[in-house]
């Protein structure tokens, strides 16, 4: 019996998850990736013999991958070795003030009490309670849904859903809502930073995004071999079920015939017929016509002012000095509001940046592993890489500000010139065209923003979207959820149209 054939464009985490889920159901899956390795934004940079995670560095929501593997009759823990972190992140401010967030909530409460007083510790207890409630309200009707909508969110629980709407705090900004829990501006700054996980400003994003704090409290892990190991594992598992992954293949057009997606044409001229196509690319690339004019109507362009954050990053091998680093470290700027005004209002690199440092050779120990360590150093930047030239002078000035900020807060990192690689918004735009370097798709500014991300289905039958610029949003687990949603939507459509025939697989397959 012939199998339904699916072509997946892009080998990011969403495309890999779709390939794994569909191949495990017995579909004929081909994944086409222009790069030489899987992962998409989950990339590594080689500095000498060192491989440095230079995209996502935080692994959360393990349950997404546990469910994916279990549905295919496999155990995630058998394929990827995870190490839970006792300290989620270390935070630093001027005056040598430091605060750790712990996996153990009671330890965090004690730490906040020592840092800012008993009232702030009580505020944190209330914050934990409310962010848990936000997450629990949204998980089933929003995070797991294939298409975001306010009516769907409310309708899932009827009148009860309408009554619970204020509890997810969609109409308050994150910054203003945090003021109800914390009087200390440093704590508002710390928890406001979770808006940047969605590429947004805490002054413009809805307080709903405070749920990210709950997600981290549920667990943060490091992955042996780095985040790239997750991408390779997903690719290997998809291949073990029969998926073909072709690297170095650029897709120039999604073919449309009979009003539906019917395959793809490669830059080489080769045509691959398909019963359905999943595009794991930024929606801006589709709207820009990079997959052909007919496919443009599958996704709306993201307005320039609605773009999420980009970044300036340094992948570094160096010996640090002067600060007791953990794996994840955040060094806060003195003027948080000015930092986001620089980016979102003035469209420029921040004069006083907050700096994220991922010390990738450390897990649960303060002690340095050796003379030199691997680092990813990141500051937020505007997504203007398609209309602004980042010359050597501007990049150098940004480096001086960034490394100067670190030195002010006690950390010295002085890499050799040949042990560092910088990535600018223009570089991100070259890697991910039609984005300006935006790393998270549409920003989450305003209460309607989360409902403006496209879902898995498009206006073109049998053409589906997946990735961090689609619903439910950016980040490794969210992109994975979008990949599962695309696979589930495709299977449901094939089944409803009578063209899908179940193939028995070990362990069955649930797309819940």
Sign of CA dihedral 322, 323, 325, 331: negative
Report the pLDDT value the prediction gives residue 159, as an integer from 0 to 100. Answer: 44
| HSE-up of residue 244 (Cα within 13 Å, Cβ side) | 9
Helix axes 227-240, 13-24, angle to 10 degrees: 30
* φ and ψ at residue 461, rounded to 5 degrees: -55, 145
In whole angstroms, give the CA distance from residue 205 to residue 198: 9
Report how far residue 331's alpha carbon sits from residue 410's, in angstroms, rounded to the nearest whole number.
10
Closest to 154 measured CA to CA, from 146, 167, 486: 167
301-311: per-residue pLDDT in tens? 999 999 999 99
The domain ranges of the chain are 5-42+61-82+225-303+442-496, 104-217, 309-431
4 secondary structure, DSSP code:
P
Low-confidence ranges of the chain (pLDDT < 70): 1-2, 148-169, 366-370, 498-512
**Residues shown for the chain:** 512
The pTM of this model reads 0.93
What pLDDT score does 512 carry?
Answer: 34
What pLDDT was estimated at residue 163? 44
In whole angstroms, give the CA distance from residue 438 to residue 459: 24
The pLDDT score that the predictor gives to residue 167 is 64
Closest CA to 465 of 283, 235, 251: 283
pLDDT in tens, 388-441: 999 999 999 999 999 999 999 999 998 877 899 999 999 999 999 999 999 999
Cα–Cα distance, 488 to 481 (Å, whole number): 10
| Strand ranges for 291-351 from DSSP E | 310-318, 320-321, 328-331
CATH number, span 5-42+61-82+225-303+442-496:
3.50.50.60
Sign of CA dihedral 153, 158, 162, 164: negative
**Residue reference for tokens 């892990």:** 221
Instruction: Please check whether residue 447 is in contact with residue 170, taking contact to mean a CB–CB distance below 8 angstroms.
Output: yes
Element (H, E) at 263: strand 260-266
Residue 141 pLDDT: 75
CB 103 within 8 A of CB 88: yes
């Amino acid at each position: 019996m012939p199998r339904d054939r699916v072509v997946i464009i892009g080998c990011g985490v969403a495309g890999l998850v779709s390939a794994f889920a569909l191949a495990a159901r017995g579909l004929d899956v081909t994944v086409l990736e222009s790069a030489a390795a899987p992962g998409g934004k989950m990339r590594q940079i080689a500095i000498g013999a060192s491989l440095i995670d230079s995209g996502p560095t935080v692994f959360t929501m393990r349950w997404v991958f546990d469910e994916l593997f279990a549905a295919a009759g496999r155990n995630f823990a058998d394929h990827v070795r995870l190490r839970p972190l006792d300290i989620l992140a270390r935070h630093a401010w001027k005056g040598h003030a430091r605060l750790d967030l712990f996996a153990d909530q009671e330890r965090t409460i004690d730490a906040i009490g020592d840092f800012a007083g008993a009232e702030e510790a009580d505020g944190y207890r209330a914050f934990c309670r409310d962010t848990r409630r936000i997450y629990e309200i949204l998980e089933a009707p929003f995070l797991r849904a294939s298409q975001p909508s306010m009516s769907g969110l409310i309708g899932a629980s009827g009148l009860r859903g309408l009554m619970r709407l204020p509890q997810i705090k969609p109409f308050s900004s994150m910054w203003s809502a945090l003021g109800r829990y914390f009087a200390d501006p440093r704590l508002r700054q710390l928890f406001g930073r979770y808006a940047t996980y969605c590429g947004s400003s805490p002054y413009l994003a809805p307080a709903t995004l405070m749920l990210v704090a709950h997600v981290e409290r549920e667990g943060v892990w490091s992955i042996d071999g780095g985040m790239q190991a997750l991408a390779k594992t997903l690719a290997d598992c998809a291949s073990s079920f029969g998926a073909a992954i072709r690297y170095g293949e650029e897709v120039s057009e999604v073919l449309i015939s009979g009003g539906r997606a019917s395959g793809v044409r490669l830059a080489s001229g080769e045509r691959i017929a398909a019963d359905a196509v999943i595009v794991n690319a930024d929606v801006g690339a589709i709207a820009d016509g990079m997959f052909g004019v007919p496919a443009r109507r599958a996704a709306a362009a993201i307005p320039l002012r609605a773009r999420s954050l980009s970044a300036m990053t340094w992948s570094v091998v160096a010996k640090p000095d002067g600060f007791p680093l953990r794996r994840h470290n955040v060094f806060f700027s003195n003027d948080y509001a000015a930092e986001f005004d620089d980016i979102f209002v003035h469209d420029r690199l921040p004069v006083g940046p907050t700096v994220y440092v991922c010390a990738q050779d450390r897990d649960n120990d303060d002690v340095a592993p050796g003379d030199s360590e691997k680092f990813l150093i990141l500051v937020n930047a505007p997504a203007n890489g398609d209309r602004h030239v980042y010359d050597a002078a501007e990049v150098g000035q940004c480096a001086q500000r960034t490394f100067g900020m670190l030195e002010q807060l006690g950390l010295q990192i002085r890499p050799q010139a040949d042990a560092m690689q910088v990535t600018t918004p223009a570089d991100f735009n070259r890697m991910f065209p039609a984005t300006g370097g935006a790393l998270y798709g549409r920003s989450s500014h305003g209460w309607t923003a989360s409902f403006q991300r496209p879902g898995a289905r498009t206006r073109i039958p049998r053409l589906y979207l997946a990735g961090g610029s689609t619903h439910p949003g950016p980040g490794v687990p969210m992109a994975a959820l979008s990949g599962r949603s695309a696979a589930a939507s495709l299977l449901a459509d094939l089944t409803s149209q009578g063209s899908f025939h179940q193939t028995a697989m070990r362990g069955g397959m649930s797309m819940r």
